């Protein structure tokens, strides 16, 4: 029976070195992509909070009192759409910068920059 041992730590170090080399080649798209991902993550949390507030302030009072408040529904809808737009902007920012970084990386690799990673 043959057992293969998995190298501990070396794979992670190599992976981090590859990521570091790509970030060093194109730092701006990396920063933009990370910022876009942060906007998306924060908007996801905000979306949960906004939906909770809408349920507490608009939906629940509607069922308790039986009255429909058009102004509250309009504000709730605007808040949900606004958070959705921010979330979409985060996704677009992340995707655009990632695509430009990968395209630039292909050009850099074609110029021989890949050799600096250690392969």
Domain boundaries, given as residue ranges, for the chain: 26-111
pLDDT band of residue 86 (cuts 50, 70, 90) is: very high
Sign of the CA dihedral 65, 68, 69, 74?
positive
Q: Is pLDDT above 60 for 18?
A: yes
pTM of the model: 0.68
Give tens-digit pLDDT for 33-42.
999 999 999 9
- Structural Rg of the chain based on CA atoms: 23
Sign of the CA dihedral 63, 67, 70, 72?
negative
pLDDT band of residue 103 (cuts 50, 70, 90) is: low
Residues 6+ apart with CB under 8 A from 93: 32, 33, 35, 36, 39
pLDDT score at 37 = 93
In whole numbers, what is the pLDDT of the chain averaged over residues?
Answer: 83
Q: Is pLDDT above 50 for 110?
A: no
């Amino acid at each position: 029976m043959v057992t293969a041992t998995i190298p501990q730590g070396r794979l992670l170090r190599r992976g981090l070195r590859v990521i570091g080399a790509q970030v060093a080649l194109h730092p701006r798209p990396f920063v933009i992509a990370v910022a876009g991902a942060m906007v998306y993550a924060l908007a996801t949390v905000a979306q949960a909070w906004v939906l909770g507030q809408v349920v507490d302030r608009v939906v629940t009072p509607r069922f308790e009192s039986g009255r429909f408040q058009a102004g509250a529904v309009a504000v709730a809808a605007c808040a949900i759409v606004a958070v959705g737009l921010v979330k979409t902007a985060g996704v677009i920012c992340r995707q655009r910068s990632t695509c430009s970084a990968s395209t630039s990386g292909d050009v850099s690799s074609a110029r021989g920059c890949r050799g600096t990673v250690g392969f």
